[in-house]
A and B are shown apart, each in its own frame.
Chain A
Amino acid sequence: MPTKTVINAAGRSVPLEINGRSVIPFKGVGKHKPDGRKYSPPIPVCYDYPDDGNKVVSSLEEALRKCGLKDGMTISTHHHMRDGDLISNKIFEIASALGIKDLIWFPSASFPCNDPIIKYLDDGTINRIEGSMNGPLGRYVSEGRMKGTAVLRSHGGRVQAIQDGEVIIDIAVLAAPTADSFGNAKGTGGTSACGVIGYAKADYMYASKVIVVTDNLIELPCFPMEIEGNYVDYVVVVDKIGIPEKIVSGTTQVTRSPDRLLIAEMTASFLEKSGILKDGVTMQAGAGGTSLAIAVFVHEILKKKGWKSKFGFGGSTKYMVKMLEEGQMGFILDAQAFDLDSVKSIENNPNHVPYSVFNAYNYHSKGNLTSMMDIMILGATEVDLNFNGNVVTHSDGYLLHGIGGWQNCLHARNVILPIPLFRDRIPVIVDEVTTLCGPGELIDVIITERGIAINPLRKDLIERVKGTGLPLKTLRELKDEAEKICGIPQKPQFEDEIVAVIKWVDGTVIDVVRKIKAG
Chain B
Amino acid sequence: MKKTVAIAGNTGPKVRSDCEIALELKSEGDIKIELTSKVKVLYGESIKKLITEILNFFEVKHASVKIDDSGALPFVIAARMESAVKQLIDTDLEFLPEFLKENNYTSTRDRFRFSRLYLPGNAPGLMINAGLHSADGIILDLEDSVAPEKKDEARILVRNALRQINFCGAERMVRINQGKRGLEDLHFVIPQNVNLVLLPKCESADSIKEVEETIAGIKKKFNLENQVFLMPIIESALGIENSYEIARGSENVVAMAIGLEDYTADLGVSRTLEGTESFYARTRIIVAAKAAGIQPIDSVFSDVADMEALKQNVRVSKSLGFEGMGCIHPRQIPVIKQGFAPDDTEIEKSKKIVLAFETAKRDGLGVVALGSKMIDPPVVARAQKTIGLAIRLGILSSDWINESQPVD
Is A bound to B?
yes
Q: Is B170 an interface residue (CB 8 A)?
A: no
Instruction: Give which listed residue, B42, B46, B129, contacts A396 with CB less than 8 A.
Output: B42
Q: Is the CB of B42 within 8 A of A259?
A: no
Q: Is the CB of A489 within 8 A of B129?
A: no
Q: Is the CB of B45 within 8 A of A425?
A: no
Given A424-B71, A486-B73, A262 contacting B41 (CB threshold 8 A): no
Q: Is the CB of A262 within 8 A of B42?
A: no
User: Nearest CB to that of B100 among chain A residues?
Assistant: A484
Q: Is the CB of A396 within 8 A of B41?
A: yes
Q: Is the CB of B16 within 8 A of A492?
A: no
Instruction: Give which listed residue, A258, A397, A426, A485, contacts B39 with CB less than 8 A.
Output: A426
Q: Is B400 an interface residue (CB 8 A)?
A: no
Q: Is the CB of B46 within 8 A of A424?
A: no
Q: Is the CB of B38 within 8 A of A490?
A: no
Given A424-B17, A487-B46, A492-B41, A449 contacting B70 (CB threshold 8 A): no
How many chain A residues touch B (Cβ–Cβ < 8 Å)? 19
Q: Is A261 an interface residue (CB 8 A)?
A: yes
Instruction: Give which listed residue, B72, B129, B133, B329, contacts A425 with CB less than 8 A.
Output: B72
What distance in Å separates the Cβ of B176 from its nearest Cβ neighbour in chain A? 25
How many chain B residues touch A (Cβ–Cβ < 8 Å)? 23
- Point out the residues of chain A lying under 8 angstroms from B16, CB to CB: 424
Q: Is the CB of B44 within 8 A of A490?
A: yes
Given A258-B329, A490-B44, A490-B45, A425 contacting B132 (CB threshold 8 A): no
Q: Is B74 an interface residue (CB 8 A)?
A: yes
Q: Is the CB of B42 within 8 A of A490?
A: yes
Instruction: Give which listed residue, A258, A450, A485, A489, contacts B42 with CB less than 8 A.
Output: A489
What distance in Å separates the Cβ of A300 from its nearest Cβ neighbour in chain B? 13
Q: Is the CB of A424 within 8 A of B129?
A: no
- Point out the residues of chain B lying under 8 angstroms from A424, CB to CB: 16-17, 38-39, 70-71
- Point out the residues of chain B lying under 8 angstroms from A261, CB to CB: 330-331
- Point out the residues of chain B lying under 8 angstroms from A262, CB to CB: 129, 132-133, 330
Residues 72-87 of chain B, each 1 if its beta carbon lies under 8 Å from chain A, else 0: 1110000000000000
What distance in Å separates the Cβ of B48 from its nearest Cβ neighbour in chain A? 12
Taken together as a complex, chains A and B put the C-alpha atoms of A490 and B70 apart, in Å, by: 17
What distance in Å separates the Cβ of B157 from its nearest Cβ neighbour in chain A? 16
Interfacial residues of chain B within 24-78, with CB under 8 A of chain A in the complex: 38-46, 70-74
Taken together as a complex, chains A and B put the C-alpha atoms of A449 and B45 apart, in Å, by: 28
Residues 476-494 of chain A, each 1 if its beta carbon lies under 8 Å from chain B, else 0: 0000000001110110100
Q: Is the CB of A485 within 8 A of B70?
A: no
Residues 217-235 of chain A, each 1 if its beta carbon lies under 8 Å from chain B, else 0: 0000000000000000000
Q: Is B128 an interface residue (CB 8 A)?
A: yes
Taken together as a complex, chains A and B put the C-alpha atoms of A450 and B134 apart, in Å, by: 12
Q: Is A125 an interface residue (CB 8 A)?
A: no
Taken together as a complex, chains A and B put the C-alpha atoms of A130 and B249 apart, in Å, by: 73
Q: Is the CB of B43 within 8 A of A485?
A: no
Q: Is the CB of B331 within 8 A of A425?
A: no
Residues 71-107 of chain A, each 1 if its beta carbon lies under 8 Å from chain B, else 0: 0000000000000000000000000000000000000
What distance in Å separates the Cβ of A389 from its nearest Cβ neighbour in chain B? 19
Q: Is the CB of A259 within 8 A of B132?
A: yes
Give 9 CB contacts A-B under 8 Å: A258-B331, A262-B330, A397-B41, A423-B71, A424-B39, A424-B71, A425-B43, A485-B73, A486-B73
Which 8 pairs between the two chains have the least Cβ-Cβ distance?
A424-B71, A489-B42, A258-B330, A396-B41, A425-B71, A259-B129, A492-B41, A425-B39
> With A487-B46, A492-B42 given, can you name 15 additional A-B contacts, CB distance below 8 Å?
A262-B129, A262-B132, A262-B133, A395-B42, A424-B16, A424-B17, A425-B71, A425-B73, A426-B39, A426-B42, A449-B132, A485-B73, A486-B43, A489-B43, A490-B42
